[in-house]
Chain A
């Protein structure tokens, strides 16, 4: 049952979260570690196929574990084990249960993405992961910054998720199904919509341009969270999605060049961002964007299998580097690389950083070297410009890897600083994984792995290999020099992209929203808002309608007085000021009737005078009293409404019944 793969960590996470902080460190830490280990076993042993879940009428959730998915599933669980171990060892005791629990749920969400065999199941895992990342980045919610950053990251990634929604709807509208198989049957425009939607979604999740700044903001989360988010899960989801669906999407118009462009632009820009950073975690975050960019470019070049292998290799060493950054921050209380130089203070950690850093720098014979060379070979298929940019990105990665390692774990501080054994064990696990993955340099091993994945091996030329090795060498030198030279933090976050997003999207939206709200109060309604002086009453559409109704009603009242009645109205003191202009007596229907009656009476003779006088005076008095009452009633707003509503109702009813 493949569905257990997301369920086991998610349920275990809920249980650990529910236990809270009372059990201390060891018990929840061990529970989380073994839950991740169980997930790893499941990922390795579960069968490839599964029965679809009947989720809703006409909608099924499908899952599968093809080799590519299995490779990533194992990676996610393995990195999860190490990171949870580190978190239990060193993250703050307050809220540790929640942290570990949500990290496990997050792993479950990622596993859902990995096993998904249709876009709906994918979307569910994708968004659950997004929500967990929000809670994890905002883990230290008592401070002011983390929750702001969590909101930023969630909204930024959700903006990209709209692409995933669009892709899902396009596939469903085109084929009546949401499965990956149906995606493969799409053609033409619909395929284009789906492919670009997925590309946008992947770019946002994987921290690509123009969504990259959220990765920096995500650094407000604890180190363990960064280690998980920026290696095997979250950012990896975008790359995995494109690699998994790459063969189906390749035919879409503009997809391959689009993926290449996004990936390579981010690979170079992320490298430039990283190389100037003095904040340890932000340096690594910039490098994450860059490495993900290389993978997406490989998908664009038509080699998704290579992208997946680099994803696996990158996850192992990047998680180790983030854990090292976390250990360094814990020891020094600072994220500033210039305050670290911990080589002598924690030599065993420094030793464990070496393979990870060299792997990031792509130095042979470490695993990162192999997978990066494979990507460069893949890029050759996309032309010399792509290759040149790839080589440049590779050189940059060597530079920032060297700079990070030397600044953070070079020689400097003398006093020994304690590091929890479990934290070191986590790094040891990841280091061992990196070393094991380095076996990919052995041709028989790499051929077997590529065979298993069903992936093609790219062919490269010697010229570009030499160029790449030269760039790496130059990069290492540059990084070494950069670590020696005094450096200042860059003025602009992410080359000014953060500020651009603020200025071009966030601020205008704030402005628009504020004005829309005022418009809503002042123009659409306009009846006035209590305790708000900036919304003058009486000028909105609704206010005008109401005023029209009351105006009509008071006109009708005046007409009533002047033309229908026309008698002198008594007593005058009951009149309201609004009705001060009163008609001259004697011109209305009742008055005329009265006069006519009076005249008749005079003609009829004196005998009947007494009787006929009664008629005009009596009726006049009654009419006057009714008129006064009516007028009093008409001063209330509600009744003005009624007058118009009833009149309108009857007119409308008459028209509809007889007019049609």
Chain B
């Protein structure tokens, strides 16, 4: 079933790419259907074979047995939740109305990215993981470069080369991990069950340290972590709205997901040794992302920098979970929070970038100062943007709060000072989002030089944003079902799950 959820969109992508007679509307319809199908399949996995304390829905087909590489899939709570969220974001991106040239190719790339991203979350083989990790760059490179605006080529190239540099480091780490196993294998389950580099603890800490460094830098670029984040703003600003939503909602999560799977689960002892420093890096991201975002006059750049801030919370949660300090409960809470933050950020920031796309579509202008009083003409847009902004600043009753509460509850028990300093991020985010809302939606219309007319959300846009934000509200009010699905305690309790 998991295999099918990866293959279907890929096949549909190939079909779209090869069959020139498919029209634009047909292409969009196909994209919607073939992003919805994986979601249905994943939901079916959740209903019929829910992960309980291990990987569910496993399937394995040999590929290169001599090197221990195989097509292996399976999901635990974390990856199933992430895959479900990703599928929803892709569905939203495919359904989002766009007037673009070469629509068939556009939707083909979206489907390609769907298959690749879902594949990354459900695979249990490190080589396949790496291949999907790199292929996701290719898909996004073309979405930004071909359908972006402004300096799209430059931004796409920067994104591609920067993250590729990171993925090469990850490749080295993966090779070293696999070679250190008693028997060469790229099976994640085997490596998690017996973390290989721990055996080197008898004196050798340099190699495991370097491997972890490679992972942190590699995934840190993708996440992105301060100071490796500067590819993100141009990539977002110049990308079309749905591509931005995918980039923020799905692709950034690959970094933090990888950090948990490879960093935390496959080399727990080394991770614990460096956890505090990773937490400091996360704190820097939290504060720097928020402070820099506050000064951005460009709507999309501002949202992009809040991603740095929010992914900082996620990494803080992961660092706390992987530290050897603190109680089991605190660390499980932090990891729960980190995973919920990934989901919440995907939904919320996905919605925010779609909102930003609304602006580009209508006026080709992201300058915050050029707007004002839009709530008059676009009350539905104002409502959705306000809800998403409050969710992003962590208001209780919305998903971001659940995530940040868990992260900080855990972090405070382990690194109280780091957590206390991180709380300032909550305050700055509130200030920057409220300032954004006021400047764009409220107050009088700008006298001159402003945007003249602005159409409110149409029915499709409204439906998509409502669906995303309804989930944000649901998670915020009643998070139990999601938390039980994620079941972070078992990730930590697995052998080698973290000190």
Interface presence of A333 (CB below 8 A):
no
Give every chain B residue within 8 A of A513 (Cβ-Cβ). 291-292, 294-295
Nearest residue (CB) in A for B150 is A530
Nearest residue (CB) in B for A176 is B329
Contact pick for A55, options B295, B441, B480, CB 8 Å: B480
Q: How far is the CB of A516 from chain B (nearest CB, A)?
A: 5
Give every chain A residue within 8 A of B423 (Cβ-Cβ). 162, 165-166
Q: How far is the CB of A17 from chain B (nearest CB, A)?
A: 11
Q: How far is the CB of B92 from chain A (nearest CB, A)?
A: 24
Give every chain A residue within 8 A of B483 (Cβ-Cβ). 56-57
Q: List 9 A-B contacts (CB under 8 A).
A: A56-B483, A57-B480, A138-B442, A148-B438, A172-B412, A520-B292, A648-B168, A656-B207, A660-B207
Nearest residue (CB) in B for A124 is B396
Q: A58-B333, A120-B405, A166-B420 are in contact. List 10 more A-B contacts (CB 8 A).
A: A128-B395, A128-B397, A147-B443, A155-B427, A165-B408, A645-B168, A656-B207, A657-B176, A657-B179, A660-B204
Contact between B397 and A142 (Cβ–Cβ < 8 Å)?
no
Give every chain A residue within 8 A of B158 (Cβ-Cβ). 527
Contact between A516 and B151 (Cβ–Cβ < 8 Å)?
no
Nearest residue (CB) in A for B402 is A56
Interface residues of B (CB under 8 A from A): 150-151, 154, 157-158, 161-162, 164-165, 168-169, 171-172, 175-176, 179, 200, 204, 206-207, 210-211, 214, 227, 230, 234, 288, 291-292, 294-296, 327, 329-330, 333, 336, 373, 375-376, 390, 395-397, 401-402, 405-406, 408-409, 412-413, 416, 419-420, 423-424, 426-427, 430-431, 434-435, 437-438, 441-444, 479-480, 483-484, 489
Secondary structure at chain A's binding surface: helix, strand, loop or mixed?
Answer: helix
Nearest residue (CB) in B for A54 is B480
Give every chain B residue within 8 A of A445 (Cβ-Cβ). none
Contact between B443 and A142 (Cβ–Cβ < 8 Å)?
yes
- Residues of chain A from 608 to 660 with CB closer than 8 A to chain B in the complex: 637-638, 641, 645, 648-649, 652-653, 656-657, 660
Fill in one digit per residue for A534-566: 1 if any B CB lies within 8 Å of its CB, else 0.
Answer: 000000111000000000000000000000000
A58 CA to B330 CA, complexed, in Å: 10
Contact between A660 and B295 (Cβ–Cβ < 8 Å)?
no
Interface presence of A602 (CB below 8 A):
no
Give every chain A residue within 8 A of B416 (Cβ-Cβ). 169, 173
Q: How far is the CB of A639 from chain B (nearest CB, A)?
A: 10
Give every chain B residue within 8 A of A169 (Cβ-Cβ). 408-409, 412-413, 416, 419
Fill in one digit per residue for A168-191: 1 if any B CB lies within 8 Å of its CB, else 0.
Answer: 111011001000000000000000
Q: Assuming A154-B434, A656-B172, is B444 touching A144 (CB within 8 A)? A: yes
Give every chain A residue within 8 A of B175 (Cβ-Cβ). 653, 656-657
Give every chain A residue within 8 A of B206 (Cβ-Cβ). 660
Give every chain B residue within 8 A of A436 (Cβ-Cβ). none
Contact between A649 and B288 (Cβ–Cβ < 8 Å)?
no
Interface presence of A494 (CB below 8 A):
no
- Residues of chain A from 98 to 139 with CB closer than 8 A to chain B in the complex: 120, 123-124, 127-128, 131, 134, 138
Contact between A127 and B396 (Cβ–Cβ < 8 Å)?
yes
Interface presence of A512 (CB below 8 A):
yes
Nearest residue (CB) in A for B173 is A656
Give every chain A residue within 8 A of B409 (Cβ-Cβ). 168-169, 172
Q: How far is the CB of B215 from chain A (nearest CB, A)?
A: 12
Give every chain B residue within 8 A of A641 (Cβ-Cβ). 161, 165
Secondary structure at chain B's binding surface: helix, strand, loop or mixed?
Answer: helix
Interface presence of A524 (CB below 8 A):
yes
A120 CA to B404 CA, complexed, in Å: 13
Interface presence of A450 (CB below 8 A):
no
Give every chain B residue within 8 A of A176 (Cβ-Cβ). 327, 329
Contact between B295 and A165 (Cβ–Cβ < 8 Å)?
no
Interface presence of A143 (CB below 8 A):
yes
Contact between A151 and B438 (Cβ–Cβ < 8 Å)?
yes
Interface presence of A525 (CB below 8 A):
yes
A273 CA to B71 CA, complexed, in Å: 74
Q: How far is the CB of B195 from chain A (nearest CB, A)?
A: 16
Contact between A170 and B396 (Cβ–Cβ < 8 Å)?
no
A151 CA to B386 CA, complexed, in Å: 13
- Residues of chain A from 492 to 530 with CB closer than 8 A to chain B in the complex: 509-510, 512-514, 516-517, 520-521, 524-525, 527, 529-530
Give every chain B residue within 8 A of A162 (Cβ-Cβ). 423-424, 426-427
Interface presence of A452 (CB below 8 A):
no
A37 CA to B175 CA, complexed, in Å: 69
Contact between B396 and A128 (Cβ–Cβ < 8 Å)?
yes
A75 CA to B10 CA, complexed, in Å: 62
Interface presence of A474 (CB below 8 A):
no
Interface presence of A159 (CB below 8 A):
yes
Give every chain B residue within 8 A of A138 (Cβ-Cβ). 438, 442
A170 CA to B423 CA, complexed, in Å: 13
Contact pick for A56, options B214, B292, B480, CB 8 Å: B480
Interface presence of A413 (CB below 8 A):
no
Contact between A147 and B427 (Cβ–Cβ < 8 Å)?
no
**Central interface residue in B179, B210, B426, B434, by most chain A CB within 10 Å:** B434
Contact between B172 and A144 (Cβ–Cβ < 8 Å)?
no
Give every chain B residue within 8 A of A134 (Cβ-Cβ). 434
A652 CA to B390 CA, complexed, in Å: 45
Nearest residue (CB) in B for A126 is B396
A509 CA to B437 CA, complexed, in Å: 19
Give every chain B residue within 8 A of A142 (Cβ-Cβ). 373, 376, 442-444
Contact between B230 and A525 (Cβ–Cβ < 8 Å)?
yes
Nearest residue (CB) in A for B158 is A527
Contact pick for B479, options A56, A150, A530, A652, CB 8 Å: A56
Interface presence of A158 (CB below 8 A):
yes
